[in-house]
Amino acid sequence: MLIRTEVPADILQIDRMLRQVFDTDAEAKLVMALRENGNNTLSLVACNDDGEIVGHVMFSPVWFEGQDLGWQALSPISVLPEYQRQGIASNLVSEAFSILYELGYPACFVLGSPEFYGRFGFKKAADAGLSCQWPVPDSAFMAIELEPGSFSEKYGLVKYCSEFAEF
């Protein structure tokens, strides 16, 4: 399994995969909108031995109380059904966290299932005094410090890119 940065030639294959993996086309539209508006910080793909894209993860900026602290949002992550439960999502997230940390991005947020995202180290953001711009259950809005101490003395609202509100 090869994990690499997305290149322009991957866009249509990623779009097809997202439409296959998710129940609606909202995630595919979100990824395209983030990419087109330059709001994707990092986008990685996992390829099988034939070079086919079988997994994808994207990160985009979030703001804390209107400030850009370099914090990122993971959304979405996807793996083709026939490749799920093989550690591909874990490998994508692990590699992405390493790259984000090396590039100086200190923290990451996600909206989703605590059971799924908890295995990557995400914890309730509310426990750090951070809240989501949307009315979501505390358990669904999670965060992880890639740089220890990133949330120290930070209490308040985290806002996503405007593209998230569109879908």
Provide the domain count of the chain. Answer: 1
Say what percent of the chain tops pLDDT 90.
97
Average model confidence (pLDDT) across the chain? 96
| Contact assessment for residue 44 and residue 4, using Cβ atoms and an 8 Å cutoff | yes
Distance CA 40, CA 149 (A): 24
How far, in Å, CA of 73 to CA of 84, rounded? Answer: 22
Distances (CA, A) of 69 to 91, 104, 163: 26, 10, 19
How far is Cα 27 from Cα 101, in angstroms, rounded to an integer?
Answer: 25
Domain hosting 138: range is: 2-165
Predicted confidence at residue 167, as pLDDT, reads 75
**12 confidence band (pLDDT: 50, 70, 90):** very high
| Tens digit of each residue's pLDDT (9 = 90 or more) over 122-165 | 999 999 999 999 999 999 999 999 999 999 999 999 999 999 99
- pLDDT of 62 reads 98
Q: For position 43, which CATH number holds?
A: 3.40.630.30
Handedness of CA 122, 63, 97, 12 (dihedral sign): positive
Question: In the prediction, which pLDDT does 52 show?
Answer: 95
pLDDT per residue as tens digits for the range 63-120: 999 999 999 999 999 999 999 999 999 999 999 999 999 999 999 999 999 999 999 9
What pLDDT digit, counting tens, does each position of 28-53 carry? 999 999 999 998 999 999 999 999 99
